[in-house]
Amino acid sequence: MDKELIKRHGFTDEEYKRIVEILGREPNLLELGIFSTQWSEHCSYKSSKSVLKKLPTQGKSVLQGPGENAGVVELKNGYILAFKVESHNHPSAVEPFHGAATGVGGIVRDILSMGVRPVALMDSLRFGELTDSHVKHLFEGVVSGISFYGNCIGVPCVAGEVYFDEPYKENCLVNACCVGIGRRKDLKKGIAEGPGNLLLLVGSRTGREGIHGATFASDTLEGSKEEKRPSVQIGDPFYEKLLIEAILEVRDFKELIGMQDLGAGGLSTTPGEMAERGDVGIEIEIDKIPVKSKEMTPYEIMLSETQERFLLCVKKGSEKKFIEVFKKWGLEAEVIGRVISEKVFRIVKGEEILAEIPVKGLVGGVPLRRMESRPPEYIERLKSIEIKFSVSESDIISDFKKILSSPNVASKKWVYQQYDHTVRGDTVLVPGVGDAAVLRIKGESFGYAITIDGNGRFCYLDPFEGGKIAVAEAARNLVSVGAEPLAVTDGLNFGNPEVPEVFWTFEKVVEGIAECAKHLQIPIISGNVSFYNESESLRIYPTPVVGMIGIVDPLENVLDPSLKQAGNFVTLIGKLSGKVGGSEYLKVLHGLIGGEVDPVDLDFETALQRVVSALIKQKLIRSAHDVSEGGLLTAIFEKLVNTEGMGIIMDVDSLSEEFLFGEWQSRFVISYTSWERSKVLEFLRGNSIPYAELGLSNEERKFILNCAKKTFVWDIDELKKIYLGAIASLMG
């Protein structure tokens, strides 16, 4: 076969040789295309699989771990929760609206394929500096795409995060996470079984959208973006809404064997994956596939990534029952193939065999890559960077305002106000109120909390500690609202893994995630790896994002950060000093990216989270909030944002940048009444948790800081205007 054609399909010499061994002959063009999608980095994890084995995947609540379309945990009273995060980075960098919208559509279908109803969305986004006009274009397009698709299908986007840093200028990150709720009896898998049973393709007609989308996601963004546009899919949320309802209707049919959405690779990947799980073969009749254009070639049909499509395996003889349901909802539904005993993926046109590939060779036969790995030289240099702490009394007032106006610290209201986060009526804690979203299950006394978190700057400076921090921070978010963390889904976003320094950071981040997850006993049950997020001039920070879910039982234990009444004690608990490397204040006030990242002491972190959970369950505290971006002053101010007619008088021993703005780990700010005070402090001392009572809430709209006979006063309404309006102001 032509070497240039082999190269364009993304194969190394070793991989092509392996294809010939699997087939026992040279592949034809269609077979080469099928291998190219299934063996792409995006689908095969050929560079990352050996590293991902380090992650803990088992836990007491886990029903389904990695290997299916989503992870699943058991909640209570027969309810299950499925969730997963997926990236749509490259498409969003080329077509921000459609790239983000189809990212939402794809992750919703992943959850739907587990047999549960999608009920909530989260997003984790990264862009360049918001002063850049192209970055604004990407940001606006991505948020519009997410809101358009999510709002139209009636699935609320209830939580998320967004950061702005120069390395993401040319490679924005768009990670979408979906959560679904169902009963244990509803659980389905992406499997094909029983020779003679049928394959039913439902949803949209197949078009030319997104051909080679999987291989596009497995390469760097180089060259003209116009050349990449054909790889970006176009979604139709109204069609997806119909598909959701139709799938949930046929889910209960006893003749349904398995189902899977057609995501990356479309029909070139899904049938083989379903066959591999069932240890069977698949035969597809290409002429039976409903298409948008009769001129489409078999290559285009099989590699198309047209959205809003599902493949069902159903018992022979029951197909009319299924087809009637989909036709009722105005959807295409056609039997396109069957399960066969011969363990091959076969595509036929009449009597002619167009492609025939052994299933195990296709799905699991890709040669795993042994990547070179070495630490980047910059790490030691940036770790030892000189930081001159020089806060003057005249600067403290303006410095805090600068911190609050940073897009990485400021409210993300500009984003979440575009999302319908209350649709379905189950959102208890909405965006901008709690450290995590909390949702109810109608008719039940318990609920669940969800969050998504990550900090690429920490991982850039110290990948191992950054990985630990991503998990610990997400867990703190859940604990703060009264939830018990249950499981993680991770989105791992990195540059080119063929660069030894990039792969080393990937290894270290995964090791950090694994160590923290094991210590906190929170298994990783699903996730996604996105490599090649770099251009000719910029490489993203190593950016893991951690989606985490927890149970709130009973739901009445739910807590938000706001101060409830005057006279409450406001207290910092946890570490009282630490490292400040990678903090937002170093960037904003000093123009520095560097310093030592504060390490997470996992024994202390575990003890601290257990103490906060116990204080909430015993109803000894009135609010809790973890200290993160912006540091202590920001955390205290955030407790005032959603509290009308409330202020605080805070007393500290000395004016210290590190203490006021540092972002070291393992800290919460809690509040309690004078009646609860003695019990709270006794509990903290009994569990060896350091604390510092900082002040009292009052009914004045002032934030007052007393230190060394000096008093600094901020008007809370002015701070609120800065904090809530910073991103909107930058967006014009």
The model carries a pTM of 0.94
Residue ranges covered by each domain of the chain: 1-38+190-366, 59-187+420-557, 375-410+561-732
For 428-442, write each residue's pLDDT tens digit: 998 999 999 999 999
Sheet of 543-552, strands arranged across: 427-429, 437-440, 447-453, 543-552, 484-493, 524-530
- pLDDT for residue 17: 95
What is the identity of the amino acid at 587? K
Alpha-carbon gap, residue 434 to 449, rounded angstroms: 10
Alpha-carbon gap, residue 123 to 437, rounded angstroms: 12
DSSP of 101-154: HHHHHHHHHHHHTTTSEEEEEEEEEEES-TTSHHHHHHHHHHHHHHHHHHHHHT
Alpha-carbon gap, residue 647 to 637, rounded angstroms: 9
**Do 375-410+561-732 and 1-38+190-366 have the same topology in CATH?**
yes
Is-cis flag, bond preceding 230, omega within 30? no
Catalytic annotation present for 625: no
Q: How confident is the model at residue 710 (pLDDT cuts 50, 70, 90)?
A: confident
Q: How confident is the model at residue 660 (pLDDT cuts 50, 70, 90)?
A: very high
Q: Which CATH class is domain 1-38+190-366?
A: alpha beta
Q: Give me the residue label for tokens 């702490």.
A: 389
Are 155 and 437 within 8 A, CB to CB? no
pLDDT at 214 over 60: no
Q: How confident is the model at residue 229 (pLDDT cuts 50, 70, 90)?
A: very low
For 255-296, write each residue's pLDDT tens digit: 999 999 998 889 999 999 999 999 999 999 999 999 998 999
Out of 74-88, 385-399, 608-622, 684-698, pick the least confident: 385-399
- pLDDT for residue 704: 95
- Give the CATH number of domain 375-410+561-732: 3.90.650.10
Alpha-carbon gap, residue 244 to 311, rounded angstroms: 13
Kindly report the three-state secondary structure assignment for every residue of 647-715: EEEEEECCCCHHHHHCCCCCEEEEEECHHHHHHHHHHHHHCCCCEEEEEEEECCCEEEEEECCEEEEEE
Q: How confident is the model at residue 222 (pLDDT cuts 50, 70, 90)?
A: low
Strand ranges for 499-542 from DSSP E = 524-530
Average pLDDT of the residues of the chain: 93
The three-state secondary structure class of 610 is helix
- pLDDT for residue 212: 64
Closest C-alpha among 373, 365, 379, 257 to residue 316: 257
Kindly tell me the number of DSSP H helices and DSSP E strands found in the chain. 27, 26
- CA dihedral (712, 566, 679, 553) positive or negative: negative
For 451-486, write each residue's pLDDT tens digit: 999 999 999 999 999 999 999 999 999 999 999 999
Beta bridge partners of 355: 347
For 310-338, write each residue's pLDDT tens digit: 999 999 999 999 999 999 999 999 999 99
Are 707 and 655 within 8 A, CB to CB? yes
| Dihedral Cα 205, 206, 209, 212, nearest 10 deg | 160
9, 42, 212, 625: which is the annotated catalytic residue? Answer: 42
9, 88, 98, 421: which is the annotated catalytic residue? Answer: 88
Contact partners, residue 254, CB within 8 Å, separation at least 6:
none
Are 727 and 135 within 8 A, CB to CB? no
- pLDDT for residue 426: 92
- pLDDT for residue 227: 47
pLDDT at 415 over 90: yes
For 502-560, write each residue's pLDDT tens digit: 999 999 999 999 999 999 999 999 999 999 999 989 999 999 999 999 999 999 999 99
Catalytic annotation present for 590: no
* Percentage of residues of the chain with pLDDT beyond 90: 87
- pLDDT for residue 226: 47
- pLDDT for residue 480: 98
Alpha-carbon gap, residue 490 to 479, rounded angstroms: 19
Alpha-carbon gap, residue 569 to 697, rounded angstroms: 7
Q: How confident is the model at residue 115 (pLDDT cuts 50, 70, 90)?
A: very high
Decide which of 1.20.1250.40, 3.90.1150.10, 3.30.428.10, 3.30.1330.10 is the CATH code for 59-187+420-557.
Answer: 3.30.1330.10
